[in-house]
Chain A
Amino acid sequence: MVDLRLKNIKKSYGTVEVIKGIDLDIKHGEFVVFVGPSGCGKSTLLRMIAGLEDISDGDLYIGDKRCNDMQPNERGIAMVFQSYALYPHMTSYENIAFGLTLAKRPKAEIEKKVKEVAGILQMEDLLDRKPAQLSGGQRQRVAIGRAIIRQPDVFLFDEPLSNLDASLRMDMRMEIGKLHADLNATMVYVTHDQVEAMTLADKIVVLNDGYVQQVGTPMELFHNPANKFVAGFIGSPKMNFFEVKIIEVSENTITVDSLDIGAIQLKNKLQFELGQNAILGIRPQHLVRQIKNEETGQITGQVQLVERLGTETIVNVKLKSGAIVIASLNQDIEIARGEALMLGFVSDDLHLFST
């Protein structure tokens, strides 16, 4: 049983602080995904856990040992790199066996273990090939094999699927998910792709600007984003935001007003003051087409762009103020560019964030 604990971890390159204090608990067997935009420090954080970067400040515990100053090979981790990092002059077999070869294990033991790993990943027929003779997906399989054979307590993945094409990415995503279930190992997975994060994670850690923005299950993040950044990052298409002004505050409700939506009342979840500016958010999936005014809230505008995906239709609607709203409407409704469109929503689906 090995838990992973980060206490106020910081990282600076010279005077530039990249990671500004991160606290995190990862339980044994959890699949945790670090997600955030490019350059937010995901890889840096992962590499500090691996021991490839020094930790500038804070404590890292793997199990109950403080690991800040341990060598990477002593930490019980294995890492899979975005670039695969396979040795080009070695066959798949030799790449997978690399660690055991270094440790000078007996040949028979190495062969048995490599075969076993190849079996798990269904790549027995690739063992004699060198990386140049493998496709991207096959290379990633070899790289994962090299991680599995270490039998680590913690697997670290740094954007392992970014170099694969879309359909392969989906296959490999499912395989990694299955692998997690089979091996019952702790996995920390870095990606900038929120779909990967949503589908794989037990727990998502949203990073931005060197801080943890929110930690939670995929559905927690989707339904209850802690701030505007998380709300905008999780979910596709992106959540729509409107600048609003608080015009009334009561014990249970709050009323906001804006040019595009008008006054609308919602449950008071946060402490807002009268006259304050705020951000109102609504997901494209929560907008529906309306023919006539109903009791719910409305937005009206002109259709600018229609994308039909079969299961849904994405429309971009230009509002009075010039702002664009994206709506994801059910199935392939009849609608054309330039038409006026009325979109309705219920106030329970609204999110209110401070600016």
Chain B
Amino acid sequence: MRKKPTSKLRQTTAAGWGMASPAIVLMSLFLIVPFILAFGFSFTNQRLVSPNPTEYVGTSNFSQLLSFDILTIEPKKAESGQLIRDDDGNLTYPRVRKFTRKNPNYPELKGMKEWFSWSSGDDRVVMLAKDVIFIKALVNTVVFVLIVAPVQGGLALLLALLINQKMRFINIFRTIYFMPVVMSIIVVSILWRFIYDGDDGLLNNLLSILSFGYFEPIDWLGRTDTALGSIAAMSIWQAVGFHMVIWLSGLQTIPASLYEVADIEGATKWQKFRYVTWPGLRNTAVLVLIVITMQAFALFSQVNVMTRGGPLDSTQTLVYQAVIRGYEKQDIAGGSAISVILFLIVLSISLFQRYLTREKT
């Protein structure tokens, strides 16, 4: 049986709610309501501004985003069955358009576009997707996460180990490593755009000096093969200090006596790391990797400032696409559907984290 709260208690409860209410209102308005709305919109054809009423469209937004197919195209043949070759001796194929546009034999390919293709014997195999840009954004985002998570996590650990020493002026190093974290990502991105500049950027100049002029300047953000990597490198640098601090707090929970035992037993530096430090950091490691992964999945500002998804969609990302669709293309429903997919990906990762760090019985 719960006792009825006394009037004093009720008053303090009311005061508590009163004080919490500004935060509650703001959080509902800017977090909870948009979250629910995004879920709702992703099942409609909602547009930002439209004269037509919004309609429920089921899961078609999702199937539009996620459907892909594989098409095997045989080379063109002459009447005789002879393969037709072009002037260079290469095989020729009918155009993909022939299959995806108004071809009654391939109704399931309607509206699809080529994502990439490869040869298999004489045949050409084409990967088709309804929404190639979305698929590219998904792949880019996953690649970005796969680069950033291990590299940033590892680098942050290295810095934490270096900084976790008793040394004069160590606080100066701590400050230097942490400084980029407190700078606005927009500012950092603009600065790095100058650093990456193709003609007279700091990076090109530096590499040129270090190689005594042998290095040919690269337009880091203007090439499909370097743009995403450049953004990844800059993102790693920017947030590495934050994760360094998390590692540091993990390091400091390991009792000094465990290292002293290792000293008495004659452990080398590496053995101390392997047998004492690393096992003691297990939970921190899971936390750091999960946080980095989630942050990396949310990649947006850097792309927005530095490349706007280009060149040739090589830096498209999920969040960038969600924003572009919702606001530039006014396709609120499409943007919402991307957000929901991102949410599900991140949700599965955090559930996986809970699984990894569960209390072992």
A residues touching B (Cβ–Cβ < 8 Å)?
50-52, 71-74, 77-79, 81, 83, 85, 87-89, 98-99, 102-103, 146, 150
Contact = CB atoms under 8 A, between A and B. Distances in A.
Contacts of B268: 102
A102 B267 contact: yes
B305 to A, nearest CB: 44
A87 B254 CA distance: 10
Given A83-B255, A85-B258, A50 B264 contact: yes
B266 interface: yes
B263 interface: yes
Nearest to B274: A102
Nearest to B282: A89
Contacts of A73: 263-266
Contacts of B267: 102
B260 interface: yes
A78 B275 contact: no
Contact of A81 (B261, B266, B271, B276): B261
Contacts of A72: 260, 263-264, 266
6 contacts: A71-B263, A83-B257, A98-B265, A99-B266, A102-B271, A102-B275
Contact of B264 (A77, A83, A87, A89): A77
B266 A87 contact: no
Contacts of B255: 83, 85
B257 A85 contact: yes
Contacts of B260: 50, 52, 72, 79, 81, 85
Interface string B236-277: 000000000000000000010110111111111001000110
Nearest to A87: B258
A267 B258 CA distance: 54
Contacts of B58: none
B193 to A, nearest CB: 46
Contacts of A146: 261
A98 B265 CA distance: 8
A51 B258 CA distance: 15
B279 interface: yes
A102 B261 contact: no
Nearest to B263: A72
A265 to B, nearest CB: 55
Given A72-B263, A83-B255, A102-B266, 17 more contacts: A51-B264, A71-B263, A71-B266, A72-B260, A72-B266, A83-B257, A85-B260, A87-B275, A88-B279, A89-B279, A98-B261, A99-B265, A99-B266, A102-B262, A102-B267, A103-B266, A150-B265
A52 B307 CA distance: 55
Interface in B272-320: 275-276, 279-280, 282
Nearest to B265: A99
Contacts of A98: 261, 265, 275
A145 to B, nearest CB: 13
A98 B261 CA distance: 10
B276 A87 contact: yes
Contacts of B276: 87
Contacts of B271: 102
Contacts of B258: 85, 87
A73 B279 CA distance: 22
A161 to B, nearest CB: 16
Nearest to A94: B275
Nearest to A95: B261
Nearest to A77: B264
Contacts of A51: 263-264
A79 B266 CA distance: 13
A87 B263 contact: no
Contacts of A52: 260, 263-264
A-B CB proximity, top 4 nearest: A73-B266, A85-B257, A99-B265, A89-B279
Nearest to B258: A85
Contact of B265 (A81, A88, A102): A102
A71 B268 CA distance: 12
Contacts of B257: 81, 83, 85
A161 B267 CA distance: 27
A28 B274 CA distance: 36
Contact of A78 (B264, B279, B280, B282): B264
B283 to A, nearest CB: 11
